[in-house]
Amino acid sequence: MSASSNVHNLNIAGMVCPNNVFLAPLAGYTNYPFRRICSDMGAGLTFTEMVSCKGLMYGSEETRKLLLCGEESPKAAQIFGCDPAIMRAACESEALAPFDLVDINMGCPMPKIVKNGEGSALLENFPLAEKVISACVKSGKRISVKFRIGVEEAKPVAAEFARLCEGAGACMITVHGRSREKVYAGQPHFEEIAAAKQAVRIPVIANGGVWNGEDLDRMMARTGADGVMVARAALFRPQVFAELTGAEEIAMLPMFLRQLEETERYLGARFAVVFMRKMAAFYCKGKKGAAEYKRRLFSAGSVEEVRALAREIFSE
Q: Which of 108, 136, 165, 171 is catalytic?
A: 108
Inter-axis angle of helices 158-168 and 190-199, nearest 10: 30
Q: Is 108 a catalytic residue?
A: yes
CB 122 within 8 A of CB 128: yes
Q: Which residues pair with 50 in a beta bridge?
A: 78
CB 232 within 8 A of CB 193: no
Contacts of 247 (CB under 8 A, 6+ apart): 1, 40, 41, 42, 241
C-beta of residue 180 within 8 angstroms of C-beta of residue 151: yes
Residue 43's contacts (CB-CB under 8 Å, 6 or more residues apart) are 21, 22, 23, 35, 230, 234, 241, 245
Asked if residue 242 lies in contact with residue 34, where contact means CB atoms within 8 angstroms, the answer is no
Question: What is the set of active-site residues?
Answer: 108
